[in-house]
Amino acid sequence: MIYKIFVTREIPDEGIKLLKADKRIKLEIYEKDKQIPRRELLKRVKDKDIILSILTERIDDEVFNAAGPQLKMVANYAVGFDNVDLVEAKKRGIAVTNTPSEQISESVAEHTIAFMFSLAKRICEADRFTRAGKYKAWGPKLLLGTDFYGKTVGIIGTGRIGSGVVHRLHDGFNMKILYNDIKRNPQLEKETSAKFRTLEQLLKESDFVSLHVPLSPSTRHLISSKQFKMMKKTAFLINTARGPIIDEKALVKALSKKEIAGVGLDVYECEPMIDCDPKDNLDLREMDNVVLTPHTASATLETRQEMSRLAAENILMFINGKTPKNIVR
């Protein structure tokens, strides 16, 4: 049997080479290095057996209908899978996989800590200040930041990424670790002396709050106006998980009212838009105490190649009649 596979955007070549080496696979890749238009996606998935998608594509009943009844698998090139309608996929008997790995977790954990450093030490502000020619002389009060060592960090979600952040901060900076999750993490508590807190307690006590939960109905707008009011005015918020976990409108108001000290964002509620309401006079991009990156927390050559390999391995296991290692239940 020949398996027709459509890749919705070019990905690093390690996985592509694996797929091309299998004579049973007929591979088609969207040619342009940009998000595929919806109409083009619906056209190109027709008669395909497998879709290798990335997180910018909404894979739902419309896509399944456009593909046809022979579609049997969606291999999502991402750790998350909120872009795929899992309920509809299950109804149709379509397998869905993702690409979690230790390498990805390490990269995102590092990016999270880079945000913390950038905010605490005002790195981005200092860079802009210096480039603009404003540095005339050293001054005792020039761009004062905050120390890192010994501070309290609150981690919301202690999966691979959240736990990776915890270990780095505990081992390297003697930080006090608080965490919140749907269940306690005895191993993390033993290894890092991390303390479980309710969400409210964590927000009230933490100098840094970092989000590492998946997007679901229960986590959408997990952090909103009420939560910002609980936080210290000197606290920093980091989000490398999913944008809608933070109520962006409430975030902008909290920053403008100085309810928190700053925020680091790699993901956005209305991504790729940075602000959901472009008519709003307040813009995250114009705030000095905001550090923004374009969903690149896992953007290292090693990690993206690993994701490519995992996506391909999931597909090869599937067509060989085996259960893919990263099947989404």
Q: What are phi and psi of 309, to 5 degrees?
A: -65, -45
Helix (H, G, I), strand (E, B) or coil at 195: strand
Asked about 111 being catalytic, the answer comes back as no
H helix runs in the chain, sequence order: 13-20, 38-44, 61-67, 86-92, 102-120, 123-131, 160-173, 186-192, 199-205, 225-230, 248-256, 301-319
Q: Which of 197, 242, 304, 309 is catalytic?
A: 242
- Indicate the residue type of 328: V
Helix or strand or coil: residue 313?
Answer: helix
Furthest-apart CA pair in the chain: how many Å? 72
Question: Is 242 a catalytic site residue?
Answer: yes
> CA 138, CA 140: separation in Å to the nearest integer?
7
Q: Which of 58, 168, 221, 295 is catalytic?
A: 295
Dist CA 38 CA 328 (whole Å): 24
Instruction: Say if CB 110 and CB 132 are below 8 A apart.
Output: no
- Cα torsion 226, 230, 234, 240 to 10°: value is -60
List beta partners, residue 84.
59
Confirm whether 271 is a catalytic residue: yes
Tell me which residues are annotated as active site. 242, 271, 295
